[in-house]
Amino acid sequence: MKKKVYITNSIFLNEGFNDVNLRDKNIDFIGKMCITTIGKLLESAGDIEKNVPVFWGSAYSCLNSLHEFNKVCEKSGALMVNPSLFPNTVLNSPACRAGIHFNITQPIYNISNGSSSGLDALGLAYMYIANGEIDAAIVCAAEEESEIAQKIEGKAFIQSCAAIYLSAQKSDLEILEYRKDYAKIMLLNEEQPIYGSINALYQIDCLLKNYMRESQFDIECIIDSYKTTIRLRCYGGKNDRNIES
């Protein structure tokens, strides 16, 4: 018997990441993005268990920090790299920076599934709660804007970070299903050029904050022929706003 899984809180940010005052000056920008966003999520969530597993999605993760580190190596030589910045070059670094900051001793699952990274991080967290392995999870997705990421992606995108608190505690938004198959893409809102991996969590943030009429939604992402779907049910309770669907 699967447990029901609910989204109890969410946050979406695309600015204010440098406002956070950190003792460790070696934390890179995407690390700050995660710390800022998860911090605001935990603040807004009130009396909840904070030491829970983290499921973190990002297509490019710390690519910018890695690239800058490597440029020093390439231009000035291997002996000139700053060893304090070396930890920022591993792909699990941003989420682990946040885990250390918030004293999280639970596992941190990093997902790098291109533009479906956020959706897959959410889906994997859903599986872990639905099957009774864990009671709650923090789901986060982040993409840092950088010249190299944009060149690889072939287009510009707004750097942003989103986080969601997921648990078996009843709320107005339930996850019904997470699946992989084939079909066309459907997004609720394409007003902002947010990178795909954040988009799913952004849509959920919009749903939670603005559109809570009783209804059912699919949030989908397609990479080549691989389609990821999260099916949601809203139970109503808030004013609805006109969102393309």
Window contacting other proteins (CB under 8 A); options: 81-89, 163-171, 198-206, 234-242 = 81-89
CA–CA separation, 142 and 117 (whole Å): 9
**Residue 47, phi-psi category: left (phi > 0), alpha (psi -120 to 50), beta (remainder):** beta
The terminus-to-terminus CA distance of the chain in angstroms comes to 32
* Residue 43 binds to other proteins (criterion: CB under 8 A): no
Of 113 and 212, which CB lies nearer to other proteins in the complex structure?
Answer: 113
* Residue 65 binds to other proteins (criterion: CB under 8 A): no
Of 226 and 245, which CB lies nearer to other proteins in the complex structure?
Answer: 226
For the bound state, the minimum distance from the C-beta of residue 45 to other proteins, rounded and expressed in Å, comes to 19
For the bound state, the minimum distance from the C-beta of residue 80 to other proteins, rounded and expressed in Å, comes to 8
Which of 19, 47, 191, 224 is the binder for other proteins (CB under 8 A)?
224
Site map for other proteins, 154-173, x if CB under 8 A? x-------------------
Which of 44, 70, 169, 245 is the binder for other proteins (CB under 8 A)?
70
Window contacting other proteins (CB under 8 A); options: 126-134, 159-167, 168-176, 210-218 = 126-134
Give the pair of three-digit tokens for residue 107.
Answer: 């596992």
* Residue 50 binds to other proteins (criterion: CB under 8 A): no
For the bound state, the minimum distance from the C-beta of residue 235 to other proteins, rounded and expressed in Å, comes to 26
Of 4 and 67, which CB lies nearer to other proteins in the complex structure?
Answer: 67
* Residue 127 binds to other proteins (criterion: CB under 8 A): yes
DSSP state letters, the chain: -PPPEEEEEEEEESS-TT----S-TT--HHHHHHHHHHHHHHHHH-S---S--EEEE-SSTTHHHHHHHHHHHHHH-GGGS-GGGGGGGSTTHHHHHHHHHTT--S-EEEE--GGGHHHHHHHHHHHHHHTTS-SEEEEEEEE---HHHHHHHTS--B-EEEEEEEESS--SEEEEEEEEE------S--SS-B-HHHHHHHHHHHHHHH--SSEEEEEEEEETTEEEEEEEEE---S-------
* Residue 32 binds to other proteins (criterion: CB under 8 A): no
Question: Which residues are near other proteins by CB under 8 A?
Answer: 59-61, 63, 66-67, 69-71, 73-75, 77-79, 81-83, 86-87, 89-93, 95-97, 99-100, 102-114, 117, 120, 124, 127-128, 131, 133, 148, 151-152, 154, 180-182, 223-224, 226
